[in-house]
Amino acid sequence: MSEDTPFEPVESKEESFGAETPVTGQTKMQAAWSGSDDEKSSAQVAQSQQGQIFEQIYQPWTGTLNPRWMRNWAILRHHILGIFKTGHRPWNIPTKLFIFFVIIASMTDVAMALLFGMIGEPTLYDIWGVNRDNLYGHVMGFFPRNILYYPIVAALLVGGMISEDRAHGTSALYFSRPINRFDYASMKFLAVGLILFFIINGTLAVYYFVDILVMGKGWAWIIDTFPMFLSAFICGIILSFTYTSIGLALSSISRGRFFPAIGLVAILMGTRAMASIIDALFDKSVLYVISPYDAVAHVCQALIGTEMTYDHPWVWSLISVVVINGLALYLLASRVSSLEVTRE
């Protein structure tokens, strides 16, 4: 570059991103040349010149945003539809297979009731048919539902629901858009809760209504049993809500899939095992209030009206359910509020 060549600033086109403060950049350019004598040549630095090489003016974006419900629906379907189709959250094959297995296994009482009803075995049909105890057992049956099915499904669902966002910085994709933290946590919660709801209450509804249609139950039978079905339906909602709140609270304090999954199963099974040991040694069932499963089971026994298996008042268990869910939701809210928009 010749020494006499003036430097002209280069102006770029305006770009609109956010604030109205102009951002400029400067550069320092120097020219050098060598003398004519090859043996005594030396580099000499010309007078430096400064010039502006770009200018950007940030202005507020004035486009039209999608409505809030549409943004929330995008989060919700991203997690739920990933179980059925590609292009959404990539649930792994073991999770999909286990959910399918749990749905089929939860329909065993439906198959047995229909089998013995159609072949005319009234004694066996009374064992498997719709009644107060069977409706309770369909939702809260400890074996195998609440020791093999529902806790493991919840653990697989909540494992990386929030923890992977903290680990991989995926929260930046959410919060860089007009999505607040309440909507983020609510849609995550609703996604897990709906999957559990469809498994627990969906199979319960099939169990009840198929028995009505196939066995030809009359209105008198429906009037007698529908309040019990409604109570069991409410119990399924309480169970799904409780498992989801505990699982997402654990996921919010972790950065991996393993700890939330194992932690949820350990809390549900560990507290029950400890309370049952104390009950067997000292004949005191009050420690069951620390067990989320037993607290929900006790409340459901009172709602449905089946035989009580606990000695302490069921109101204590109701208070325990409220406290457990309250603490879990508080932990979830506090951790989500601290999520960064960059990788942690």
* β-strand partners of 29: 49
Q: Is residue 342 part of a domain?
A: no
**pLDDT on residue 89:** 86
Q: Is residue 120 part of a domain?
A: yes
Q: Are residues 103 and 132 in the same domain?
A: yes
**pLDDT on residue 168:** 81
Q: Are residues 135 and 56 in the same domain?
A: no
User: In this structure, are strands 43-45 and 49-57 parallel, antiparallel, or unpaired?
Assistant: unpaired
Q: Are residues 268 and 305 in the same domain?
A: yes
Q: How confident is the model at residue 126 (pLDDT cuts 50, 70, 90)?
A: confident
Mean pLDDT value of segment 28-43: 51
Q: Are residues 58 and 74 in the same domain?
A: no
Q: Is residue 343 part of a domain?
A: no
Q: How confident is the model at residue 214 (pLDDT cuts 50, 70, 90)?
A: confident
Residue type, position 217, single letter: K
* Region of poorest pLDDT, from 96-110, 159-173, 179-193, 325-339: 159-173
Report whether pLDDT(117) > 50.
yes
| Alpha carbon distance 253, 340 (integer Å) | 13
Q: How confident is the model at residue 276 (pLDDT cuts 50, 70, 90)?
A: very high
Specify the residue for token string 């999770």: 95
Range of the domain at 207: 68-337
| pLDDT tens, position by position, 39-49 | 555 555 445 55
**pLDDT on residue 271:** 96
Q: Are residues 76 and 114 in the same domain?
A: yes
**pLDDT on residue 24:** 55
* Region of poorest pLDDT, from 134-143, 162-171, 179-188: 162-171
Report whether pLDDT(52) > 60.
no
**pLDDT on residue 18:** 46
Our count of domains for the chain comes to: 2
Give the tokens for residue 130. Answer: 């719709």
Q: Are residues 172 and 291 in the same domain?
A: yes
**pLDDT on residue 28:** 53
Give the tokens for residue 162. Answer: 């929030």
| Alpha carbon distance 49, 27 (integer Å) | 9
pTM greater than 0.75 (yes/no): yes
pLDDT > 70 fraction of the chain, expressed in percent and rounded: 81
Among 12, 33, 63, the domain-final residue is 63
Minimal CA–CA distance to 79: which of 146, 201, 175, 170?
170
Q: Are residues 90 and 1 in the same domain?
A: no
**More confident of the two residues 218 and 62:** 218
